A and B are shown apart, each in its own frame.
Chain A
Amino acid sequence: MAIPISYNIRNLIVRKTTTLMTAAGIAITVAVLLTVLGLVAGLTTAFKTSGDPLHVLVLRKGGNAELTSLLTQEQFQIVKNFPGIAKDAHGQPLASLEVVSIINLAQPGNPDGSNVTLRGLSQAGIAMRHLKLAAGRWFLPGHREVVVGKAIAEKYAAAQLGKQLRFGKGYWTVVGVMDGGSSAFNSEVWADGPEVAADFNRPTTYSSALLQATDEIAAAALPNALQSDRRLNVTVLSEQQYYDAQTVSAAPIKFLGLFCCIIMGVGSCFAAMNTMYAAVARRAREIGTLRVLGFTRKSILFSFFVESLLLSLVGGALACLATFPLNHVNAALGNFVTFSETDFHFRIGPAVMLTGLLVSLLLGALGGLLPAWQAGKKEILSALREI
């Protein structure tokens, strides 16, 4: 017969100081893990939601970044008439020749400013990305106007509706704020393609082209068709592939974070073991009594093991509670593909929390096994005689 779980719960409550201290130790370890995983998940979401499965990105041969890529007007004329590219209501191909650069925006408290991606694009480019405006309107072709991402508007005092940004050869008026959901576009500044190209002295050499395929089959076929065209000499990726590659920027933080988690995990395992051994020692007589009542060695072993799991679960739950508010926190991370910062939210969702709870259970299991084994091994007589 199994010992009821309420017995373990009451035991944990009686020794609440020790329980809480041990659980807190586990909680801190798990909280570090959750924070790191939440950061990685947030950054991954930002890049994942930026890529559309129907979108295809054309870069210079061997290119892996829009920033260092080059694509001329002539190349674009060939590209945009390829079969498989979707058309808009007016029968024009959904293809956007874009120029991508970086600008530096000053922040209060950071006089050096941060780097932000500037994207010059056409009306087709705006239509393809289906972004909503949070305020204002889109820029007009031929005007020195910009639309800023939501994260940019929140962060930089100069990037407000009606104000002006200084970059390139002069001032640009902010006419709109776009809502990129959780995508990386929230950290970009958009303006009219030809205007940007002229300001950055590259009127004929843009950076890249974005195409919208008619369907998934065309999206899969387009890269091959474009790459094998000898007039072009380009590298073509699906937009999703392109953004996936950028999630690498979280790798150093992830590595360092997991490294710390593993070591801290070993430490809290020892701590849990200590607590459980003390529990077993203190309850020697109780164990003897249970045996006299007819509970088997196995059920006693199991009971102590469960108690250790419960203890660690309290820790895991505490960690989830403590890190949950991080979901509203913004973070920014730079990467060496765009050379600018991407803003994102921490994402401590169900999957991350479940991982945290499982890890805390693992710590409890590793810490509780040996003490529970010892509890199960105790002889009735000697256990009853222990003080």
Chain B
Amino acid sequence: MLRYLPLAFKNSLRNRRRTALTISSIAVSLCLLGVLIAIYHALYYSEATPGQALRLVVRHRVSLAQAFPSAYEAKIRRIPGVKAVSVQNWFGGTYKDQQPVNFFARFGVDPAEFLKTRVQMEMPEDQRKAFVAERTACIVSRDLAERLHFHLGDRITLDGDIYPVKLELIVRGIFDDPDARDSLFFNMEYLRELLPVGRRNLDSTAVVLAESTDEVPRIAKAIDDMFANANPPTKTESEQQFALSFVSFLGNIKLFLISICAAVTFTILLVSGNTMAMSVRERIKEVGVLKTLGFTNQLILNIIIAEAITIALFGGVIGLLFAEVLTAGLSKAAELYMPQLHGLTIQPATALIALSIAAFIGFVSSFVPAWNAARTNILDSLRFSG
């Protein structure tokens, strides 16, 4: 079979414009398919980082916007296997203005406990000490510091919206942490002081660090069971699931991605099928000649299918190259809203899936025309005129 590959290749060049158009069409569609599969992979199949795998997030069962009593923290701490518990609160608010570039996560935390739960955080010892000791201190991630030009000692003013206060913070640390790329953390005690007495309950999520990853499911269940009949009950999930719940809140992204992928695949199938039908029709006479020369039906079928697969794969490779460029751009644009998309690229597995789809499409689209051509008897095909 292999020695007929040059023939299949030559055949694909007989109408260069058509082949070029087909390849472009397949390339464009597979580029999209590649991007979508990459997004799907990043959202639903990415591995948890070592830190994420150890952490659980506890929240009010109904929603993030509601706080749970601060007494919960002490109870969670007593569950065996729990290494540290850090209560966090989403501050919201505005930094400078409403521009998206000035948007980042701002959390109030209990500094000492918080630092214990961030197993992968890298920050110099003196900065850690300053964060714990100083009430108005805050720490920012390196990405954020670079984007908004924060330096140690800078003052940051946050205008509250959920809380009617203005926070005057001083940058005391810049950290590296793969799980918190776009965040600012400050001392929750400082916020508490500024609020009227009735509103000082700020515990909206608790981050729990487990002693080992094996303990994680058991701890999650233990926490939820403990508060099952309390008011309010809690919901505990791994940090990864917790992040994903934000994505699912924006709509059924999973269904959306799968249906678009299906639509794209079907479109390429149509395009490719159409072209192969046209190109086979054109050369029925030629098939007759090949048959007179002694080519078997099977061989002719194979050669035509090989040609279609070659074209589809070629389109697929070009499409994936474009997809690689596109994912880089997309991850930059969407990272702020979906941190899961950070560093989105076409993984080898994604490329393999996309190329298999391309090959499959080449095969399916050419099978019917090729089968018909191969079965036409010699006399009819020689007599055939376009």
A contact set with B: CB distance below 8 Å: 17-18, 21-22, 24-25, 28-29, 31-32, 60-64, 67-68, 101-104, 112, 115, 169, 205, 249, 252-253, 256-257, 260, 263-264, 266-268, 270-271, 273-275, 277-278, 282, 331, 333-334, 336, 339-340, 387
Contacts and interface: CB of A to CB of B under 8 A. Distances in A.
A62 B164 contact: yes
B63 A264 contact: no
Given A102-B63, A115-B63, A263 B32 contact: yes
B36 A61 contact: no
Interface in B161-207: 161-162, 164, 198
B331 to A, nearest CB: 13
Contact of B270 (A24, A263, A277): A24
Contacts of A263: 28-29, 31-32
Contacts of B258: none
A270 B277 CA distance: 16
Q: Which 7 A-B pairs have CB atoms at the shortest separation, nearest pair first? A: A270-B25, A267-B28, A334-B249, A271-B271, A21-B274, A263-B32, A274-B21
Q: Most chain-B CB neighbours within 10 Å: which of A18, A31, A274?
A: A274
Contact of A339 (B64, B260, B264): B64
B369 to A, nearest CB: 11
A169 to B, nearest CB: 7
Given A31-B263, A264-B32, A61 B22 contact: no
Interface residues of B, number: 46
A387 B283 CA distance: 13
Given A68-B65, A115-B63, A62 B160 contact: yes
Contact of A277 (B21, B161, B263): B21
B383 interface: no
B235 to A, nearest CB: 7
B161 A64 contact: yes
A266 B256 contact: no
B14 interface: no
B28 A266 contact: yes
B250 interface: yes
Contacts of A271: 21, 25, 267, 270-271, 274
B63 A18 contact: no
Contacts of A102: 62-63, 65-66
16 contacts: A28-B267, A61-B164, A63-B161, A64-B161, A115-B63, A260-B260, A263-B28, A264-B28, A264-B29, A267-B25, A271-B21, A271-B267, A274-B278, A277-B18, A277-B21, A278-B18
A252 B336 CA distance: 12
A222 to B, nearest CB: 22
A336 to B, nearest CB: 8
A334 B250 contact: yes
B11 interface: no
B250 A267 contact: no
B21 A68 contact: no
Chain A binding surface SS class: helix
B358 to A, nearest CB: 13
A12 B231 CA distance: 69
Contact of A275 (B268, B274, B337): B274
Residue among B24, B61, B271 facing the most chain A CB atoms (10 A cut-off) = B271
Contacts of B271: 21, 25, 267-268, 270-271, 274
A274 B267 contact: no
A62 B249 CA distance: 25
Interface string B261-273: 0011011101101
B260 A32 contact: yes
A60 B29 contact: no
Interface string B116-147: 00000000000000000000000000000000
Interface of B: 17-18, 21-22, 24-26, 28-29, 31-32, 36, 61-66, 159-162, 164, 198, 231, 235, 249-251, 256, 260, 263-264, 266-268, 270-271, 273-275, 277-278, 337, 385-386
A67 B65 contact: yes
A102 B62 CA distance: 7
A252 B252 CA distance: 11
A62 B278 CA distance: 65
Contact of A274 (B18, B36, B251, B268): B18
A68 to B, nearest CB: 5
B275 to A, nearest CB: 6
B270 to A, nearest CB: 5
A274 B62 contact: no
Contacts of A205: 198
Contact of A68 (B25, B162, B275): B162
A333 B63 contact: no
Contacts of A169: 231
Contacts of A28: 263, 266-267, 270
Nearest to B264: A264
Given A257-B256, A263-B28, A340-B63, 20 more contacts: A17-B277, A21-B270, A25-B274, A68-B65, A68-B161, A68-B162, A115-B63, A252-B250, A253-B250, A260-B264, A264-B29, A264-B263, A264-B264, A267-B267, A267-B271, A270-B271, A271-B267, A277-B17, A331-B251, A334-B250
Q: Give the interface centre of B62, B256, B275 by most chain A CB atoms within 10 Å.
A: B62
Contacts of B270: 21-22, 24-25, 28, 271
Contacts of A18: 274, 277-278
Contacts of A334: 249-251
A64 B160 CA distance: 12
A256 B268 CA distance: 20
A243 B183 CA distance: 29
Nearest to B262: A28
Contact of A249 (B24, B250, B260, B263): B250
Contacts of A67: 65
A331 B253 CA distance: 13
A278 B278 contact: yes
A233 to B, nearest CB: 9
A25 B273 CA distance: 11
B251 to A, nearest CB: 5
Contacts of B65: 67-68, 102, 339
A249 B62 CA distance: 20
B386 A282 contact: yes
B379 to A, nearest CB: 20
Nearest to B252: A331
Given A252-B337, A260-B36, A268-B267, A333 B274 contact: no
